[in-house]
Amino acid sequence: MKVVVLTGAGISAESGVPTFRDADGLWEGHRFEDVATPEAFEAQPSVVHRFYDARRTALLAVEPNPAHVALARLEEHLGDDLLVVTQNIDDLHERGGSTRVLHMHGELRSALCTGCSGRSEWTGDLGDYPPCPRCGVVGLRPDVVWFGEVPYGMDRILAALGTADLFVSIGTSGAVYPAAGFVQYAATAGARTLELNLVPSEGTHLFDEARHGPAATLVPAWVGELLG
Ligand SMILES: [Zn+2]
């Protein structure tokens, strides 16, 4: 059985990671226009660097929850037949034990060079303008996909959705495209579709089945069912 899992802010929120989807629409007190667009980075690179440097440091204070761990357990059984696509930029899936994770919106623990386009694993700060470890140019930016930029891995994601037997959406609002369109793409290609979310998402009616509650409860239960 081929399975594609899409995860979003909800699964990280249960580990205490703040997101744009909080009730006030801000991300740690910032508007997205000020920290998550190429224009913001061009206008105020130091502000944007400080923001992501703080988010990267904050990862040290959070832990994966039972939903992340359950997906790693599923990967142990399915291997390459499971693809986890995440909209999250934290590293909680990896720390929960998953190895086959596609970060469509980039990763906090990665730096992108505006000189050579190389991506380098990054655990420190970028706000002190270190040189690129690949080409030496001082031009590293957070390796996150900002509003108006193209997500990573779309070809691979669409190929996996096109051959999936099951598509499961976990902790996503169903409001942000292209991810919000994955359910219809998978269903058209013949996959069964399941939503696991705290509350009904905007697209909940598009799924064959929807279960609502905390991911830390729903995901381990679902994985348990699947593995019999
Ligand atoms: Zn470079």
The Cα 6–Cα 103 span in angstroms is 10
How many angstroms is it from 116 CA to the middle of ligand 1?
A: 4
| pLDDT number for residue 21 | 54
Active site residues: 105
Dist. CA 131 → ligand 1 center (Å):
8
59-88 pLDDT, tens digit per residue, is: 999 999 999 999 999 999 999 999 999 999
Cα of 155 from ligand 1 centre, angstroms: 25
State the pLDDT at residue 50. Answer: 96
Q: Can you give the pLDDT at residue 33?
A: 86
pLDDT at 213: 98
Ligand 1 centre and the CA of 112: distance in Å?
8
Q: If you average pLDDT over residues 99-120, what whole number do you get?
A: 97
**pLDDT (average), residues 14-37:** 79
- pLDDT higher for 199 or 24? 199
Separation of alpha carbons 63 and 60, rounded Å: 8
| Percentage of the chain modeled with pLDDT above 90 | 90
* pTM beyond 0.75, yes or no: yes
Quick one: pLDDT at residue 105?
96
pLDDT at position 155 over 90: yes
Mean pLDDT in the chain? 95
Cα of 110 from ligand 1 centre, angstroms: 13
Q: CA 40: distance to chain centroid?
A: 21
Q: Ligand 1: distance of its center to the CA of 20 in Å?
A: 30
Ligand 1 center from residue 111 Cα (angstroms): 10
- The Å distance, Cα 19 to ligand 1 centre, comes to 29
| pLDDT tens for each residue of 116-127 | 999 999 999 999
Tell me what pLDDT residue 23 has: 57
Mean pLDDT of 25-42: 87
Two tokens, residue 165? 């037997």
> For the chain, what percent of residues have pLDDT higher than 70?
97
Q: Indicate the pairing of strand 166-170 with strand 140-144.
A: unpaired
Helical (H) or strand (E) element with 51: helix 45-58
Over residues 192-206, the pLDDT tens digits come to: 999 999 999 999 999
How far, in Å, are 49, 52, 138, 152, 159 from residue 116 at the CA level? 19, 21, 11, 17, 28
